[in-house]
Amino acid sequence: MKNKKILFEYAFKPIIYFIISLVIGGSIIGIIYFKLIDMYMNSYAKIPQVIINVVNEFLYAKNNYIGDLVYIILILLITIPIYIIFMKKKIESISEIINTTNIMANGDLNQTIQVVSKDEVGQLGNNINSIVSQLRNITIEERRAQQTKTDLITNVSHDLRTPLTSIIGYLGLIEDDRYKDEVELRYYTTIAYEKSKSLSILINDLFELTKMQNNTISLDKIDINLVELLGQITEQFKYEFKQNDIKGRTDFSEDKLIINADANKLVRVFENLISNGIKYGKDGGYIDIVTRKQDNMAIAQIINYGEQIPSSDLPHIFERFYRVEKSRNRNDGGSGLGLAIAKNIVELHGGNIKVESNSSRTIFEVKLKLI
């Protein structure tokens, strides 16, 4: 049905327009012709000699091949402008498409075709606009991916170089016997070992994050009680809470919030969020672990009462290697990838994670679908 419509629009419709134009043109010439005859027959005496001569020549010519040719030319001279008037909108649309696509072909993908009709030409213009919009988005994404790759290489290079430099430095001191006694030797060895662990954490985290973002990681999902899981994780952090003079508080509004998830992966998410809360919110004295049910979603919140995260940093908080503090110190043993990994794990489960921060508290909220 659609093909028949296109065939009519582009094959038969122009022919119909031309035939109509031809009929109109022929009618106009016919009217003029018979008017000349009428003028010649009935008003001969009142017509100037020049017009009489023209009428005589035309009437004479009409009876031979030259006359037929003149008649056809006159019809065409009137028919063609009428046909152009009929086709004006379509011609303008096609001209607009040609001109704009020429500009697009030269690399300017910010151009759009101004669609002035709702026929197939207009649809063609809309389709081209849609394709160009997709190409523009792909180009933007490619540039963003390239920038991300460049940033990743820069960050990885920096973060690998820092512990490696330290490891090489302390091992060099040991190699050159530049230590006073066994105590200093053990001190150098311990530092090199700790830096090696930081390096291992960074490499493992980067490898895992890359697998997640490439969708090459599988989830071992089972039905789990999120409330029970968070209770166990909170219990495991008792020592860290005590060491940092923090009180861990729980507020579970439901006894059970059953979700289908990979328990080990979710443990990593909440361990990371609680660890971040301890690290950056210990001045607040409390870490709250809160759960509640909202429609068909289980909501878990990790709340700390430390320093506010600047609003300019909030949109980037889950990016790889992004740190609110401007220093790149690795003494805390982190990789700068924890929140990025947490975000990817939650999204792999079909959930979402967000952060809110003000002068009184910072809330990391995880939403997961209930079963």
Which residues in the chain show pLDDT less than 70?
1-14, 17, 21, 25-26, 29-30, 32-71, 86-87, 91, 116-117, 119-120, 152, 323-335
The predicted structure's pLDDT at residue 333: 47
The amino acid at residue 117 is: S
The predicted structure's pLDDT at residue 368: 97
**What values do phi and psi take at 368, rounded to 5?**
-135, 145
The predicted structure's pLDDT at residue 255: 85
Counting DSSP H helices and E strands in the chain, the numbers are 10, 7
The predicted structure's pLDDT at residue 189: 93
What's this model's pTM, rounded to 2 decimal places?
0.58
Tell me the per-residue pLDDT of 191-241, one tens digit each, with 9 for 90 and over: 999 889 888 878 887 888 888 877 778 889 999 999 999 999 999 999 899
The predicted structure's pLDDT at residue 130: 87
The predicted structure's pLDDT at residue 149: 72
**What values do phi and psi take at 108, rounded to 5?**
-90, 95
Q: How far apart are CA 14 and CA 326, in angstroms?
A: 69
The predicted structure's pLDDT at residue 97: 79
The predicted structure's pLDDT at residue 69: 65
The partner residues of 300 in beta bridges, in order of sequence, read: 291, 366
The predicted structure's pLDDT at residue 159: 72
Q: How far apart are CA 47 and CA 37, in angstroms?
A: 12
The predicted structure's pLDDT at residue 132: 85
Compute how many other C-beta atoms are within 10 angstroms of the C-beta atom of residue 341: 22
